Amino acid sequence: MSELVSMRTDDDVAVITIDNPPVNAMKYEVRVGLLDLVSRAIGDAGVSAVVVACAGRTFVAGADITEFGKPPRQPTGIAVIEAIEASGKPVVAALHGTTLGGGLELALGCHFRVAAPGTRLGLPEIKLGIIPGAGGTQRLPRLVGMEKAMAMILSGEPILAPEAHVAGLVDEIIEGDLVAGAIAFARRVVAEKRPLVLVRNRDERLATPHHLAAFDAAAANHTKRARGQNAPVAAVAALRAAVTLPFAEGLKRERELFLELVAGDQSEAQRHIFFAEREAAKVPDIAGARAHEVQRAAVIGAGTMGGGIAMCFANAGIPVTVVDTGADVLARGLDVVRRNYRNTAARGGLTANEMEARIGRIDGTTDLAAVADADIVIEAVFEDMGVKQDVFARLDRIVKPGAVIASNTSYLDIDVLARNTTRPQAVVGMHFFSPANVMRLLEVVRGATTSPETLATAIAVGRKLGKVPAVVGVCHGFVGNRMLRLRSVEAERLLLEGALPQDVDGALTGFGFPMGPFAMGDLAGLDVGWRIRKAVGLTAPIADQLCERGRYGQKTSRGFYLYEPGSRTPKPDPEVEQLIADTAAQRGIARSALGKDEIVERLLFPMINEGARILREGIARRAGDIDVIWVYGYGFPVYRGGPMHYADSVGLAYIRDRLMAFAHTTGDDRHRPAPLLEELAAARKGFASLAG
């Protein structure tokens, strides 16, 4: 018997309730309790039907992820589901909140599913580097058809109850009291003697073997973006088994694939990111601080970042005022925002009403005084300290007391900006990533005088905007850009030593990044980095020369690569290769071929080393925070767990030795192993050992 699962009867209907806050994860004790009570209800002559429901904010949101990697304990989720399937009495699942993973699989094992209107239903296992392991790949396609099942399982994205109802996944939407509605539904099933057809036996919606060509084509389309991830490929294999094998064998095949993945490095890395993402916003010393409520926002600057940030607020239902000094710039900025929304609506990503509602939440003005009532103001003007200091001083005179004043700067000193106000406690950094309405990461920069309430507000706003907040301290470039600087320097150095842009980019995309540094530079515009380097007195031997020649990347159709008119496909340019060779010769650097692995090590190990310095300085609190920043802000492959987790998988002693070799070759002190990395390597430990 388990405290986490209870049963009561409502006349002849048994109601089994799971209560394992916060998300009713189906941990061992829940499975034990569920199996026990289901068996009892089935065996009770006074019971004609069973309802399975959950207390709290959600139905089961999956298996307990903290149990993965540990020896499995019986009963498994599959055993519980098979006990339900064996029932001769109707079992109705009453769904609400986020019915995910093993929770949806449990519901698929029931004879019927009813749901509250706002319920989200999905199989997100692929986001953990695994596949559904309790029958989801075999039962879901039988209920909703292969096309929908494949889309749900390979995206990991949930669908809402009304869509699930149309798809046949949910039998009825229950307005009002869910459990009462489920009991009534169960009674109707009994009264109407409705047949108890198990999902496992419902092959009518399943594609048949001669549809395999279509299946394989659809699967290939989904997996072409897998970039080295195993789970999408395994999910396709399991779904294919649903078409080609009888149910029991398909279930067995799914289980084999699941057990292989859950024991693998990729899933371990993705589970690390799952929990690190939730830790990154936790700041122990502000635990009790109350976040201010934010009902109105303002953004200063109608450029690319300002427009994207305004869209985030509008998307979250918060009215926002965009301010820019120039009426033309303002008009252009708002046009871009409207165009973005229209494109999304045209692609079916938004209804016309929703689009109009979001556009309607954004207004523009050239009058800074209009932001007086905002609860939060985000400054997103030109990256120049003087310009920003002036904006902060003016905001300080206008914005109401208690409001938060944030800067979207990507590297400037938040404390300097705070000192330009009479309320430094209300100043914080909120560093969005471009495009701000798409990228999930938000670096929340805590200044020396930022109050706990201001910090708590910035984090809460980040979450409300659907971002992954990671709290960092003040230094040049904070965490992400500070480490990126090391990689950029090394990328240029590799060109002089013998690599070509496509070699370096190829090595990183082969490692799992969506794009390499040179293609990324061409996309973002080489002139952006050039201006920053000049402002802070830094150089990049090749990139600087390209910019001096007006080669800013895609926007000039020439950068590190050539681009055909209207194309974003980078083509190697012999002129650039000659420029690299000439520059190396001028510097007396003999060029030689560099292998993919060496290129990857040269690009990643120095930035990992810088990560160790950042940890020692306390700019980042946890190694996991750095991993979350790189996965959500810089495209580090999630299935490698971020740079610090990856470093642990390689071994810090090996990285230390390689860095020593690099330092010897390059003479660059920054390659010298950081003290923290040295200490951990000597102790045969990893960054993970620092947790807690």
Q: What is the 3-state secondary structure (H, E, C) of 296-324?
A: CEEEECCCHHHHHHHHHHHHCCCCEEEEC
User: What DSSP element (H or E) covers 470?
Assistant: strand 468-472
What are the phi and psi torsion angles at 304 (to 5°)?
-55, -50
Per annotation, catalytic residue among 85, 105, 277, 443: 105
Closer residue to ligand T1G in complex, CB, 136/642 = 136
CA distances from residue 639 to 252, 265, 304, 389 in whole angstroms, order as listed:
25, 8, 30, 41
Using CB under 6 A as the binding rule, the residues of this chain from 69 to 128 that contact ligand T1G are 77, 98, 100-102, 105, 124-125, 128
Nearer to ligand T1G, 77 or 364 (CB): 77
User: Which residue has tokens 């659907």?
Assistant: 466
Spatial contact of 642 and 517, defined as CB atoms under 8 Å apart: no
Task: Give residues with Cβ within 8 angstroms of 591, minimum separation 6.
Answer: 496, 497, 498, 581, 584
Give me the least distance between CB of 27 and ligand T1G, in Å please.
8
Residue 22 in contact with ligand T1G, rule: CB under 6 A: yes
Contact range with ligand T1G by CB under 6 A, out of 17-25, 241-249, 325-333, 496-504: 17-25
- Indicate the residue among 141 and 606 with the shorter CB distance to ligand T1G: 141
The contact mask relative to ligand T1G for 249-288 (x = CB under 6 A, - = no) is --------------------------x--x----------
From the CB of 158, what's the least distance to ligand T1G, in Å?
A: 8
130-138, 208-216, 609-617, 626-634 -> range binding ligand T1G (CB under 6 A):
130-138
Nearer to ligand T1G, 101 or 480 (CB): 101
Shortest Cβ 468–ligand T1G spacing (Å) = 11
Least distance to ligand T1G, CB of residue 177, Å: 23
> 281: helix, coil or strand?
coil
CA distance 138 to 552: 51
Residues from 34 through 73 that contact ligand T1G (CB under 6 A): 61-66
Q: Which residue has the tokens 């069973």?
A: 50
Active-site annotation holds for 125: yes
Residue 268 is a catalytic residue: no
Is 101 or 606 the residue whose CB approaches ligand T1G more closely?
101
Minimum separation from the CB atom of position 282 to ligand T1G (A)? 7
Residue with structure tokens 């910090």? Answer: 455
E strand or H helix that includes residue 98: strand 98-100
Closest CB to ligand T1G among residues 18, 302: 18
Strand-pair category, 5-10 with 13-18: antiparallel
How much is the CA Rg of the chain, to the nearest whole Å?
28
Residue 266 or residue 321: which is nearer to ligand T1G going by CB? 266
Distance separating alpha carbons of residues 319 and 296, to the nearest angstrom: 5
Contact string 135-164 vs ligand T1G (x = CB under 6 A): -x----------------------------
Tokens standing for residue 402: 């208690």
- Determine which residue in the list 33, 109, 129, 133 makes contact with ligand T1G, applying CB under 6 A: 133
* Cβ-based nearer residue to ligand T1G, 128 or 414: 128
> What residue type is assigned to position 673 of the chain?
P
Residue 97 CB, nearest approach to ligand T1G (Å): 8
Minimum distance, C-beta of residue 445 to ligand T1G, in the bound complex (Å):
22
Which residue among 134, 439, 456, 676 contacts ligand T1G (CB under 6 A)? 134
d(CA 16, CA 7): 4
Does position 23 interact with ligand T1G (CB under 6 A)? The reply is yes
Q: How far is the CB of 584 from ligand T1G (least distance, A)?
A: 49
Site map (CB under 6 A) of ligand T1G, residues 342-361, x = contact: --------------------
Q: Is residue 539 exposed (0-12), middle (13-18) or buried (19+ Cβ within 10 Å)? A: exposed
Q: Which stretch binds ligand T1G (CB under 6 A): 20-28, 508-516, 583-591, 677-685?
A: 20-28
| Catalytic residue (choose from 125, 443, 610, 678) | 125
Contacts by 542-546, CB closer than 8 A, 24 or more apart: 542/492, 542/495, 542/496, 542/576, 542/579, 542/580, 542/583, 543/492, 545/579, 545/583, 546/576, 546/579
CB of 134: closest distance to ligand T1G in angstroms? 4
Size of the site for ligand T1G (CB under 6 A): 25
Kind plus residue range of the DSSP H or E element containing 270? helix 265-279
Closest CA to 533 of 520, 553, 547: 547
Would you state the structure tokens that stand for residue 562, as one six-digit string?
């050539």
**Which lies closer to ligand T1G via its Cβ, residue 63 or residue 94?**
63
> 63 phi and psi, to 5 degrees?
-65, 165
Let me know how long the chain is. 692
Determine if 25 is a binding residue for ligand T1G (CB under 6 A): yes
C-alpha to C-alpha distance for 74 and 556, rounded to whole angstroms: 62
625 binding ligand T1G? (CB under 6 A)? no
* Of 110, 90, 91, residue with least CA distance to 99: 110
Gap between the Cα atoms of 141 and 108, Å rounded: 11
Q: For ligand T1G, give the closer residue by CB, 7 or 238.
A: 238
Shortest distance in whole angstroms from residue 452 CB to ligand T1G: 19
**Active site positions, annotated:** 105, 125
| Residue numbers at the binding site for ligand T1G (CB under 6 A) | 22-23, 25, 61-66, 77, 98, 100-102, 105, 124-125, 128, 130, 132-134, 136, 275, 278
